[in-house]
Amino acid sequence: ATTAVSTDSLGNGVSGLMQNFSLTMELQKHVAAGQVENAFAVALGANHPELLLWLCGKLDPKALGGPPPVSQIILISLITQLSGDIESNPQLRLTWLRESLALLNPKDPLIAPNAQRILTAAGQKLQAFQQLGDDVEPQTVSMLIFMVKKFLR
């Protein structure tokens, strides 16, 4: 008798691995074509932190500024997902958070209704990370907290 491998018994199993592989290949195509907005839209939409971090590792954070610059929706989504678990790859996350916050316009009509809530949450997560006392870029963390507070005034 043949035994079928169920994806339930493997967590995400083979199908999860193949899905991430196909998403990674899609991201590679967007990166190669210089389609930064599309690459981030795919990575953020997948809601897989590892995939987003992989993409961030492949690009220079200055790519967010363009040309063409990525949309404010992509920037606020990046801030949301990158601030989620700062302890996981903090240097990469902090670098990308810095660039995203530098380009963010929280008054943009497309993000304004949610910007305050998202920035408040990101600021709280940055403060919690700072209180852990890790010596990972303490000046950067302080600067990011300052940037967030400036937006919230």
Pure H helices in the chain: 13-32, 36-46, 49-58, 72-82, 90-103, 112-131, 138-152
Q: What is the pLDDT of residues 92-139, one digit of tens each?
A: 999 999 999 999 999 999 999 999 999 999 999 999 999 987 777 889
Q: How many CA atoms lie within 13 A of 139 on its CB side?
A: 0
For residue 17, the model assigns a pLDDT of: 52
For 88, half-sphere exposure in the C-beta direction (CA atoms, 13 angstrom radius) is 12
| Distance (Å, whole) CA 53 – CA 58 | 9
CB 97 within 8 A of CB 103: no
Give the model confidence (pLDDT) of 7-52 as tens digits.
333 344 555 556 678 889 999 999 999 999 999 999 999 988 989 9
Structure tokens at 12: 């995400």
Give me the CATH code for the 11-152 domain, please: 1.10.220.100
Domain extent listing, the chain: 11-152
